[in-house]
Amino acid sequence: MNNIQTVVLDRDGVINFDSPDYILSPEQWQPIPDSLEAIAKLKQAGFQVTVCSNQSALGRGMIDQTTFDAIQAKMIAATEEAGGNFDYIAVCPHGPDDGCGCRKPLPGMLLDTFQVLNIQDKSTVVMVGDSYRDVQAAHAAGIQAVLVSSGYGDAAVIFEKSKQLMPGIQMFTNLAEATQSILEGQS
Asked about 97 being catalytic, the answer comes back as: no
Task: Name the active-site residue from 12, 18, 130, 134.
Answer: 12
pLDDT of the residue at 40: 98
Q: What is the CATH number of domain 6-184?
A: 3.40.50.1000
Q: Which of 10, 18, 130, 134 is catalytic?
A: 10
Q: Which residues contact 170 (CB under 8 A, 6 or more apart)?
A: 146, 147, 181
Q: What is the pLDDT of residue 152?
A: 85
Q: Which among 52, 20, 33 is positioned nearest to 153, based on CA atoms?
A: 20
The mean of the pLDDT values for the chain is 96
pTM above 0.85, yes or no: yes
* C-alpha to C-alpha distance for 49 and 153, rounded to whole angstroms: 24
Give the per-residue pLDDT at 187. Answer: 61
**Residue 12 appears among annotated catalytic residues:** yes
Q: What percent of the chain has pLDDT over 90?
A: 93
* Domain residue ranges of the chain, discontinuous segments joined by +: 6-184
- Say how many C-beta atoms besides its own lie within 10 A of residue 144's C-beta: 20
> In DSSP terms, which residues pair with 6 in a beta bridge?
48, 125
Is the pLDDT at 12 greater than 80? The verdict is: yes
16 DSSP assignment:
B
| Per-residue pLDDT tens digits for 74-123 | 999 999 999 999 999 999 999 989 999 999 999 999 999 999 999 999 99
